Amino acid sequence: MDGENVEKKEAFASMATPDKVVQSAPRRRYIITLTAITIFSAVMRFRNLDTESFWLDELTTLSAISQGTWRSTMEGWLSMVGMGTWLMYYWKLVVGDSDFALRSISAIAGIVLILVVAEFTRRFHDEKAAIITASMLSISHLAILYSQEFRPYMFTTTFIWIAFLLMRSERRLSLFETICCIALLSFSYLVHYVAGLVIVIGLLTDFALRVVESVRTKHEPYASKLDRILLFLKSKSGQCLKISFAVAMLAVFMLEKMRHDSDNTNHSMWINDVPERPVVSLFDYFFAFDTRGSITDIAEVMWYFVLITPILLLLHRRMGAKRKLASESEWFIWAVGGGTMLVIVLYSLEVRNLWVSRYFVFSMPAWYILFGVGISRTIDLLNGLIKQENKEATEKKSFIIAVIFSFFFVLNSTHWYVNEYEYYEQGGRSDFKGMSFWLDDYVGGDQDEIFIISQPYDKYWNLYLDRMDSHVEIDTHSRWGEVTTGQVIEIIDDEPFEVIHVRGHRLSMWEYDSLTLVLSPDYELVDSVEFIEGQIDVYHRIKNNGLS
């Protein structure tokens, strides 16, 4: 009897600690192609990285990390607890505070994301899908845009998908990998509540898929329900459950903060209504608002393609399934990409607006993985219609087709993106840098008879002025909206010879004419200098011939 128990325990132990799944090493052709894509991605993300001025949100981030200590950077931060600014605070200490140095954290993260997403796609589907996914992501407008901003979106997305890559792998993680997975997910969860949403959906989906797999797995007759539960807990599934539990405990403590942030009127009052076709609108951001015609509109075509991916999955499996249905990569991808979109749209319609294009950066890789896997399956289906040679020749031909598709897609998109859409020439955001340089050059070192008013707050220009060691001083009593009564009274009392009105970030938002009306007839407008989404007006005192 004891011998039977020992035999049962040994058998159960072998089931609970299965052999590691052997992952085939990437082929040389794959490595060479991915290297070329990575170099191209680096060029697109570092090109003109510091040419365009920091815009208002970037300067808000810079202001937050310029408070002197890491604790100060996190205090009062609206979106969760300021973990993003905590990391950027230390990044600034290491690399310096130039525009290029600060933005490089996002550029580097954007390049790493290409490699992570490619490996995710290769590991859970195949190499040609990984190449297609990486190439499409390399020229993604949304990916490039937020790889060139000093904000936490891109490195947070990279952290999330590194953790997802570790969790979805079938081998058990080492203790170090487990700690890294928990740390990356916890950090990302504390950066932004939509990042938290993506993480929660990802963890729930992973858990559900593993439960389904466990239920469908045939066990030995001697394995009781308790044995099967213990087997689940001792396997990779149980390891992922522990990671989920760790993040869940964090979510419980942060739930009130998340609710406060998402319900805060100041945070959502500027958000527009949900687009009539949310997914197509999002894909427009992916492909740089492509408007090349109704037939070749990429966003429209890719949305229809997403709708047929379930059919592609079923047809592809009929050719000869290589893995269990629950192990197919699409389940996780559909849930993370489509689930995030569905929750945000429903929340926006039922509670308050939350549909913002940049909030989908965290789930963006899921859509590109779906594109890559779907196109890869299409290539396989087309090859299946032709009489094939040996398996190796077929795989090589399929890979070459994927490379050719990727090359022409990237070539066409890059030409349009750079030369027709003129992304690198647009300068579409408020030129705080240009206005700051103008002030420093115009005012010089003598400001005794000059009073400078700014809209919105003075800090957005001072962040540039301070970094160039300028002596220009902007009045600190400005508000978000119109010029304050106190500022007008100060001008009337002090009677400076010159008043400079500096305005930036969406000129249509401010009551710009109010200063002209208030200063008349004592002052007259003598000069107006226009900038990108900004303007500087110079007024001279005309009463008493300009004499105080």
Q: What is the pLDDT of residues 50-84, one digit of tens each?
A: 999 999 889 989 988 888 888 887 775 655 557 88
Largest CA-CA distance found in the chain, in angstroms, rounded:
114
Contacting residues for 405 by C-beta, under 8 A, at least 6 apart: 132, 375, 379
- Residue listed under structure tokens 């957005």: 460
Q: Residue 390 corresponds to which tokens in the numbers above?
A: 């040996």
Average pLDDT over residues 261-274: 72
CB 186 within 8 A of CB 250: yes
**368 vs 35: CA distance, rounded Å:** 18
To the nearest 10°, report the CA torsion of 380, 382, 387, 388: -30
Give percent of the chain with pLDDT exceeding 90.
Answer: 47
Average pLDDT over residues 436-465: 89
pLDDT band per the 50, 70, 90 thresholds, residue 266 = low
Write down all domains in the chain, each with its CATH number in brackets: 7-17+24-425 (no CATH), 432-546 (3.40.190)
Average pLDDT over residues 539-547: 72
The pLDDT tens digits of the residues spanning 360-412 come to 999 999 999 999 999 999 999 988 887 666 778 888 899 999 999 999 999 99
Question: Across the chain, what does the average pLDDT equal?
Answer: 85
Helix, strand, or coil here: 530?
A: strand
DSSP 366-423: HHHHHHHHHHHHHHHHHHHTS----HHHHHHHHHHHHHHHHHHHHHHHHHIIIIIS-G
The reported pLDDT for the residue numbered 288 is 80
Kindly report the pTM of this predicted structure.
0.89
Q: Is pLDDT at 20 greater than 60 in this prediction?
A: no
The reported pLDDT for the residue numbered 242 is 85
* Amino acid (1-letter code) at residue 235: S
pLDDT band per the 50, 70, 90 thresholds, residue 218 = low
Average pLDDT over residues 478-499: 80
The reported pLDDT for the residue numbered 514 is 65
CB 483 within 8 A of CB 532: no
To the nearest 10°, report the CA torsion of 195, 197, 201, 202: 10
pLDDT band per the 50, 70, 90 thresholds, residue 428 = confident
Q: How many CB atoms lie within 10 A of CB 16?
A: 15
Q: Is pLDDT at 353 greater than 80 in this prediction?
A: yes
Residues composing the chain: 548
**In whole angstroms, what separates CA 121 from the centre of its chain?**
19
The reported pLDDT for the residue numbered 1 is 46
**Phi and psi dihedrals of 527, rounded to 5?**
-160, 145
Q: Residue 247 corresponds to which tokens in the numbers above?
A: 């993040």
Q: Is pLDDT at 359 greater than 60 in this prediction?
A: yes
